[in-house]
Amino acid sequence: MRQTVVWDALRAVLAERAAATGRETLDIVDAGGGTGGFAVPLAGLGHAVTVVDPTPDSLAGLERRAAEAGVAVKGIQGDAGDLGELLAPGSADLVLCHSVLEYVEDPAAALAAIGGLLRPGGVLSVLAANPVATAIHRAVSGNFGEARQVLGDPAGRWGEKDPTPHRFTADALAGLLGKAGLRVAETHGVRIFADLVPSRLAEGDPEGLAALERVAATHPVLRDVATQLHLVAYR
């Protein structure tokens, strides 16, 4: 349910690219795809999926998960910034970059490498943590100083113990994508209410919460306070 909005956007992108290319099987790269939370279902839809991840344990988990699902997913060990060396330029119809930019040393360089993988008309799906939501969550938990720190910190961090090195506003992400030669087509808020309402309420009406998240995802105000921001960009 927490990724309903992202999956809705991906299904629309896949349908659009299949119609535009005339190919039912698309080439997809999941940068930092870990154990295959997105990659394995995408492979189950009949697409050719490659996961690039720096962690051997994650790739081992990906292999097990794919085997259990009865699908083939290629795993390659490497960092997002090295994609240009690991895969052929212009070889992907869709690249996923989900929860990766927060942790890479040079987000702009990583996006440039990712952009180089895309075919003309290819799509990049970016999912990243939002500092505004972090400020709200820190304040709700009573950490007012940390909330204030997030809002004034260029990297969107609440302190030295913050495990997330970078967070990005929608404008910051759009700027990075533009510098990489990509055109932003859609911006969605992900987990606007899901991380705020008590779990007993979320579990009591998951379909209702998912429907609310779908409507709120593109709301011009609510979108910008989501826990994560999801951008769809074209080459």
pLDDT digits (tens, 9 = 90+) for 43-63: 999 999 999 999 999 999 999
Q: Could you give the 3-state DSSP secondary structure of residue 112?
A: helix
Report the pLDDT value the prediction gives residue 2, as an integer from 0 to 100. Answer: 80
CATH classification of the domain holding 219: 3.40.50.150
- Please check whether residues 112 and 158 belong to one and the same domain: no
Domain count, the chain: 2
Residues 30 and 41 in one domain: yes
Give yes or no: residues 20 and 118 share one domain: yes
74 lies in the same domain as 154: no
The tens digit of pLDDT for each residue in 106-129 reads 999 999 999 999 999 999 999 999
Segment 24-36 shows an average pLDDT of 97
List Cα–Cα distances, 88 to 147, 152, 169, 177, 188, in angstroms.
43, 40, 31, 20, 30
Task: Note the pLDDT tens digit of each residue in 130-174.
Answer: 999 999 999 999 999 999 999 999 999 999 999 999 999 999 999
For residue range 192-226, list pLDDT tens digits in order: 999 999 999 989 999 999 999 999 999 999 999 99
Q: Quick one: what percent of the chain has pLDDT higher than 70?
A: 100
Question: Within 10 A of 43 (CB to CB), how many other CB atoms are there?
Answer: 23
Give the domain-ending residue among 117, 144, 166.
166
Query: What is each CA distance from 102 to 173, 215, 223, 234, in whole angstroms?
Result: 11, 26, 19, 21
Question: Is 115 found in the same domain as 22?
Answer: yes
Q: Are residues 119 and 35 both part of a single domain?
A: yes
pLDDT for 82 beyond 80: yes
Q: Are residues 61 and 23 in the same domain?
A: yes
Is residue 118 located within the same domain as residue 78? yes
Task: Note whether 225 and 208 are same-domain residues.
Answer: yes
Alpha-carbon gap, residue 165 to 174, rounded angstroms? 19
- Kindly state the helix (H) or strand (E) to which residue 141 belongs, with its residue range: none
Tell me the average pLDDT of the chain: 96
Residue 90: pLDDT above 80?
yes
Statement: residue 81 has pLDDT above 90: no
**Are 147 and 204 within one domain?**
no
Final residue belonging to a domain, choices 145, 166, 187: 166
pLDDT of residue 1: 67
**Helices H, strands E: what count in the chain?**
10, 7
Domain that holds residue 175: 4-130+168-234
